[in-house]
Structure 1
Amino acid sequence: MSIEKSAFGITPKGEQVDRYKLQNKNGMAVEIITYGGIISSVKVPNKGGVFEDVVIGFDSFEPYTQDPHYFGALIGRFGNRIANATFAIDGHVYQLDANNGPNALHGGPEGFHKAVWTVVSATKEEEGTVLKLKYFSKHMEEGFPGNLTVFVTYTLTEENALEVAYEATTDQTTIINLTQHTYFNLSADFSKPILDHEITIDADTFVAIDETAIPIGTLEDVSNTPFDFRTSKTIAAEIDAEHDQIQKGAGYDHCWVLNHQDKGFRVVASAYDHTSGRKLVLTTTEPGMQLYTGNYINGEMPSRDGKTYNRRSGFCFETQHYPDSPNQPSFPTTLLKVGETFKSKTSFAFSTL
């Protein structure tokens, strides 16, 4: 096990950004930068033992400041969308920045993905190599009430899993929905789309959306729809189906209602690439997961091979509460009150078949 720290860049505001490389005894290596708590690199072996990068990222800092796709970033205060960029707590209406059509997306244009996080500790523990980050989000930052203190702990285990644990407290009732926005391509060939990846999602229903990707308030059965991943199938199989919800998402950009929510930390999804033999297994405490298939990546951001990242060159498994929960009384609550501690945990475990 090892941890290496290096300087990575300076933000437009003049803040120092550092990069931490975590490596386990198997040779798996994860790189995380303090800007946005971004996972910038994950190198894991294919079935032939060759280590390659399986996440979208950049080798230099500047592209991260221009990136509109949230590559690898921590998302907050509220991941996903809030309708009409407004919500109410105890009758008081809060106005957010409408940065996604009429809606608010991923905590606003200056959300947690743009913050420089403080490193609390970088240590080698019994459970693995651990990087603990902290961010203090001030009252009314991006329109959200309450001073919010957030900790995110990345742990690279000796079993080739990257665990992400979240904790948060507030001094005033607020809303919270934290997630991680890494884009995976298990083939490690980002010139090819992720359409041949086989996916499973343990979910019987998904959150139906309108044309602006806001929930319409109903949870739809996945049976006999392109959203049924209860048995393994390729992303390509139905991503361009003539289905109303597929058309509204330009492919998959929806939140699945995960089964067995009462069981807490449980396996909820997987992805497998036949060519490389790499498999990713997702475990979480969260009630939902957004599968996003990179439908809006459009070739404007540089890739590591000197080309560009194009449409569907990566997919996201974003564990979270449902979108627009503050305006949807029937959804699990995203309120965080004084004296409470928000806790969430997700694991990305890699293996080969």
Structure 2
Amino acid sequence: MLGMPVTRTKFGQVDGEDVYKYTIENSNKTRISVLTYAAAWQNFEVYEDGEYHSLISHFDDLQSYIEMPFQVGKTVGRVAGRIGKARFMINGKTYQLTPNNQTNLMHGGDDGIQTKNFIGSADGKHNSVSLALIVKSSDDGFPGNIDLLITYSLSEDDEVSITYTAVSDADTLFNPTCHVYFNLDEPSIMDETLQIASDSYLDVDDEKVPTGSLISVDKAFDFRKGQIIENALCNLEKQNGKLEFDDTFVTYGDRVATLSSDKRVVDFYSDRNGLVIFTANPTGVEVPGQYSSVAMELQMLPDAINHTNFGNIILRKNQKTSYTNKYQYRKL
């Protein structure tokens, strides 16, 4: 079946550059919108009973994407998550970057790709949008300039695919993700069920940097058969006194997680080994213990460069590398 037209509208300006929103729609009237700013996933809407319903947290104005601290829907990197002490080694050379999260580097630093405006192009035949950026070493301090292409596509069976393709002119690190927050049924996620294909999660220090050790899932952290999020949060408070999840699970297999309500399901697929979940209120006032959304960050395990058993995130010079995240919507 031939694809449908991809629409483009102006969304605002940043640093004197126009920011555009691209919207892809399939024959089911399911549609996704992406921004050139931060290659952000701006919306994911499904058409039910004569009206649209959004499945992800989003803003309808550019300024909120620029100013709000929760990285809503943005592509973060070139390395998502924390790098301990903002330090790493490649080929025997140590690189010390400027910390932006206590003593650590978070999401590639304050000049990461989440702060950049990409160049967009649409492909209506394949229901996709591609966003291109030269990630400059002079901007973020990492070695190597990366030629980065991020492609969003929407299939006829309501699957969203995000592919990250990179080539660098020097050995560097590459582990981006989409920092997207899901909520299948407003106003909160508390009654939704989360299932994760994981037997272990990462032990972290007081600054949320992985220690290198894995902890077997139990009680609050055991999502293998699914847990209602409110129940999991209650178990979490009893287990260690915490009121939110901000944790990384070691995942296996292709389908790594499922989020479901009594009406809707989204399955999460990844070709990498980690899933960070973060319960939050990214677009409003925080109420501890009550959350509007859960971030589902599909990536290689955080701080992988400093832990030999976490996976390889080194992008070798002139070696093209691609990662793909997929999000499959199903109506119950």
Asked whether the two chains share a fold, i.e. TM above 0.5, the reply is yes
Equivalent residue in structure 1 for 2:16, among 14, 17, 20: 14
**CA distance in structure 1 between the partners assigned to 2:315 and 2:56 by the alignment:** 32
**Structure 2 counterparts to residues 39-78 of structure 1, below 5 A:** 39-46=41-48, 48=49, 50-78=51-79
Offset, 1:328: 1.3
2:122 paired residue number: 122
- Match of 1:226, SS state, is helix
Equivalences for 1:1-353 in 2 at 5 Å?
1-11=4-14, 13-46=15-48, 48=49, 50-119=51-120, 121-125=121-125, 128-187=126-185, 189=186, 192-222=187-217, 224-240=218-234, 241=236, 242-244=238-240, 247=242, 250-260=243-253, 266-274=254-262, 277-294=263-280, 297=282, 299=284, 312-353=291-332
Is the Cα–Cα contact under 8 Å of residues 30 and 158 in structure 2 kept in the other structure?
yes
Following superposition, the deviation at residue 311 of structure 1 comes to 5.9
Percent identity between matched residues is 28
TM-score (norm 1): 0.88
Aligned residue for 1:239, secondary structure, equals helix
> Which stretches in structure 1 are left out of the alignment for 5+ residues?
261-265, 302-307
Unaligned segments of structure 2, at least 5 residues: none
In 1, Cα distance between the equivalents of 2:239 and 2:95? 35
The structure 1 segments of at least 4 consecutive aligned residues displaced by more than 6 Å after TM superposition are: none
Please say if residues 2 and 24 of structure 1, whose CA atoms lie closer than 8 Å, have aligned partners that are also in contact. no
CA RMSD of aligned residues (A): 1.9
Return 51-60 or 144-153, whichever deviates more.
51-60
- 1:309-341 Cα deviation digits (max 9, x unpaired): x96211111110111111112221111111322
Deviation at 1:118, TM superposition (A): 0.9
Q: Which amino acid aligns with 2:272?
A: E
CA offsets per residue over residues 57-104 of structure 1, 9 Å max, x none? 111111111011000001110000011111121232222231111111
User: Equivalent residue for 1:263?
Assistant: none
Secondary structure of the corresponding residue to residue 243 of structure 1: helix
Q: How does the TM-score come out when normalised to structure 2? A: 0.93
Instruction: Give the counterpart letter for 2:135 in structure 1.
Output: S
Count of aligned positions: 326
- For residues 179 and 327 of structure 1, the distance between their equivalents in structure 2, rounded to whole angstroms, comes to 19
The answer (yes or no) to whether the contact 1:207–1:255 under 8 Å persists in 2 is yes
Which amino acid letter does the alignment assign opposite residue 208 of structure 1?
D
Q: Is the 8 A contact 2:76 2:112 kept in 1?
A: yes
| 8 A Cα contact 1:97 1:142, kept in partner | no
CA contact (8 A) 1:226 1:238 kept: yes
Cα deviation code 1:279-314 (max 9, x no counterpart): 10111111111111127x48359xxxxxx9x96211
